Structure 1
Amino acid sequence: MVKVLFFARLRQQLDTGEIALADFCGSLSALREALCEQYPHWRVYLQRDDIRMALNQELAEPDTLVNAGDEVAFFPPVTGG
């Protein structure tokens, strides 16, 4: 199982903060595409160029591999001041 978290505005846009995927193994970009196929209305939010991804609380690139037991997070860029 892979735990997938959504933060900030994505949480509101997708109407969920967390889901679990059973039997997923592949890259972060493949995971994002699998989510968009399962939830087509999420594509407009998850495929934005500014959406960041983290794997096990570390920023990660789209080609980073995801394994069972991992935690993936999607979030928009954060600014502060």
Structure 2
Amino acid sequence: MRVRYFAWLRERVGESSETVQTDAATVRELVDDLSGREERYALAFADLSAVRVAVDEELADLAAPLSGVREVAFFPPMTGG
């Protein structure tokens, strides 16, 4: 699946997107897998309260299933103005 990173998550991971092979069943398991890879991922996901997620371009939460998903995007909370 394609994993995309936006804003400060992109800066910490060092990539805007990547293709990931995973057996993760949920977004949370994907985060755990990524965080275990390298320190840069662990830093990006250190405070999950500051991370939002979209699964196939729909807002989701960490419990969202990944079966059949083509894209997961991580980004900071958005504010209006």
TM-score range, shorter chain: 0.7 to 0.9
TM-score, normalisation: structure 1: 0.85
1:2-81 mapped onto 2 (5 Å cutoff):
2-48=1-47, 49-81=49-81
The CA RMSD over aligned residues, in Å, is 1.6
Deviations 1:6-63 (A, max 9, x none): 0112111211000111243410000000000112332122131110111001111111
Q: Which moved more, 1:65-74 or 1:49-58?
A: 65-74
TM-score, normalisation: structure 2: 0.85
Q: Which blocks of at least 5 consecutive residues in structure 1 are unaligned?
A: none
Which structure is richer in relative contact order (CA contacts within 8 A, separation 6 or more)?
A: 1
| Larger relative strand fraction | 1
Identity value in percent: 28
